[in-house]
Chains A and B, each alone.
Chain A
Amino acid sequence: MRTARAFLTLWLLSFRRLFWSIGTPMLLLPIVACIMFLVRRNYGASDDPVQAFHAFSMFLLTVFASFLVPLCALAFGTAGLGGDREDRTLLFLFIRPLPRGLILLAKYFAALPLVLGFTVGSLWIFCKLAGAPGRAAFDAYLPATLYMSVAYTSLFHLFAALVRHSTVAALIYAVFMEVLLGNVPGIVKRVAVNYYGRSLMYDAGVEHGLNAPDAQWFDPYPPADARTALWAIAIGALVAAWLVFRTREYEEPT
């Protein structure tokens, strides 16, 4: 009972600190930029609904899934644990009787609703602004958004448990693995979470008018396997983070 209460206290503390951090308003900036883009572009006004769906889907694939989702996970996923490491406040948690594994889980479950709130919330707003193509797109792309958000959040918690400058590590990963390798033809792109997410999006979008990608450049993973891969990344990274965090010493020699 006492452990559960302590866990809830830490969850609430972490959630509150993340929500009121400077990262939250800063994350609104790219979302506002995307809103302005969608207002200017006005996909709903198109005469060709299939073409409009395709164009809006390309925005979601290249901007939302490839940039915004990892960015939200980076902002909250690395800041939760990484922020405590950066501010040297982690020691106040380590000297409490809460087991280390639970400290990590409290941080993870504090970040996850924020990441999901921002990704799903921004998807909903984007789809609303896109009008008719947006209505179909929200239902089609919501599962992929959820999977990707959870996978990225787990992965960035692993980075936070492993390295001190986890935001830099996450940024390097997001840019070099997700953007560069994620767009290289062939199987190299399997290192990117984004590849599996985009595979799910292509699978869901094709029936609404999204053109299938050129297989030479992007050969989508079968949807069932993509879902499995995203689950495996999410759970595997979280378990790895849990193991690292339990045993690792976060101290400088003095």
Chain B
Amino acid sequence: MGIDAAHYHPWKTNPGGKLGGPLLGAWRGVAAVVRTTLLQLMRRKAYWAIYAVGISQFVVYWVVIYALTQLQLPSGTQRGMLNTFGFSIEAADPQDTGYLDFMEQQSYVVMIMLAFCGSLVVGSDFREGTLPFYLSRRLERRHYILGKLIALVGLIWLFTVLPALILFLEYGMFTTSTDYWRANWRVVPSILGYGTILGVVLALWLAAISAYLQKLAPIAVVWSSLFVLLGRLGFMLSRETGIREWVLLDPWKDLRLAGRLCFGQFRTAGDAQLSATAAWILICVSLVALLALIRRVRAVEVSA
């Protein structure tokens, strides 16, 4: 029997293969990993329960925008809502940070969703030994990693970028002209930029942690320690010692500062000064996470 009859695939992508040429084949391989990952997750009721919790915040913002644009509210009430939610009724107001605030406030639910996803879509590949199934196809390590990261970024966007863009559309639609969209068009690339930072950083960190810890409980312990504990410790150290840099212990704070670089808006001058350091912290930690992830996948590739 020839080797072809056994349906083994050559390791490298090759022109004329079933997946197409090297570039197209690789992309289709990545797309297959993304599709499988998303389907694997969306079949779970728990995911939709978390999504329902996550979307409740969106509903609140939706109602606020509706109220701001459609109702004649007393000026005090309107100002209070503006302060609370960060929106401005003036077109192209530089203080209009409602979308960024919304994305920031999704942090808790994104954290929980990612803890769940990490164990399910990355940890289980290592725990249940399904990674060799991917790697035995015409997929290489980089395709697998890229596919998983894109899927995780997509999930993060479903909770942050997508609802933020819908809110922006809603704001424009509820006004009588297209002035709001014209005046604030920079909001869209800003949302996408912040979303990309959020997605790439969180996906890399989560994939690396999940590849090593695999089970939900330890992932949840480490993940919540990173995003809740470090934030609190950083805040207390900063307040009690007077050294502002301690707030950079908080990964959310770093993400926010890096995100505000995209929006070009900072709450204080101090935030503007810290934003570059925050961006460097994110880049360094993300690189370490990427190297750790590659190393972990390589170990499985060798042992498989």
Contact = CB atoms under 8 A, between A and B. Distances in A.
A–B in direct contact per CB < 8 Å: yes
Interface of A: 21-23, 26-27, 29-30, 33-34, 37, 40-41, 55, 58-59, 62-63, 67-68, 71, 74-75, 78-79, 82-83, 86, 163-165, 167-168, 170-172, 174-176, 179-180
Contacts of A26: 213, 218, 221-222
A42 to B, nearest CB: 10
A196 to B, nearest CB: 21
Given A26-B213, A86-B216, A165-B116, A62 B221 contact: no
B46 interface: yes
Given A21-B218, A75-B217, 17 more contacts: A22-B214, A22-B218, A26-B221, A33-B225, A37-B236, A37-B237, A41-B240, A67-B228, A68-B229, A74-B221, A78-B217, A79-B215, A164-B46, A167-B220, A168-B116, A172-B112, A174-B224
17 contacts: A23-B217, A26-B218, A33-B229, A33-B233, A55-B240, A62-B232, A63-B236, A67-B228, A67-B229, A68-B229, A71-B224, A75-B221, A165-B116, A167-B217, A168-B50, A168-B115, A168-B116
B50 A172 contact: yes
Contacts of B224: 67, 71, 171, 174-175
Contacts of B46: 163-165, 168
B218 A75 contact: yes
B208 interface: no
Interface string B92-115: 000000000000000010011001
B108 A175 contact: yes
B272 interface: no
Across chains A and B, which 3 residue pairs bring their CB atoms closest together, nearest first? A30-B225, A79-B217, A26-B218
Interface of B: 44, 46, 50, 53, 108, 111-112, 115-116, 213-218, 220-222, 224-225, 228-230, 232-233, 236-237, 240-241
Contacts, number: 105
Nearest to A80: B217
Dominant secondary structure at the A interface: helix
A15 B112 CA distance: 27
Contacts of B228: 67, 175, 179
B129 to A, nearest CB: 13
B112 A175 contact: yes
A63 B229 contact: yes
Contact of B229 (A30, A83, A171): A30
Nearest to A55: B240
Contacts of A62: 232, 236
A229 B66 CA distance: 42
A67 B232 contact: yes
A83 B217 contact: yes
A195 to B, nearest CB: 18
Contacts of A29: 221-222, 225
A165 B229 contact: no
Contacts of B214: 22
